[in-house]
Amino acid sequence: MPAVVKCPTCGTEVAWVPDNKFRPFCSERCKQIDLGAWASEKYVIGGKPGETSADQPEDEDD
């Protein structure tokens, strides 16, 4: 019996099987809504306040 998960966008129950090309989403629409949320910066990856990638030293390969 395949695992069942909820679509992160709409909450519809979805079977977690290799045939589902949209997993963990239930449809292309929900997948695109999620992508749009990332693109419009509604989601963020946490870090320390004020920390940006410019604050971190770059590795130099000489």
Residue ranges of the annotated binding site for Zn(2+) are 7, 10, 26, 30
Three-state DSSP at 38 gives helix
Q: Binding site: what residues are annotated?
A: 7, 10, 26, 30
How far is residue 62's CA from residue 58's CA, in Å, rounded to a whole number?
12
Measured between alpha carbons, how far is 14 from 31 in angstroms, rounded to an integer? 13
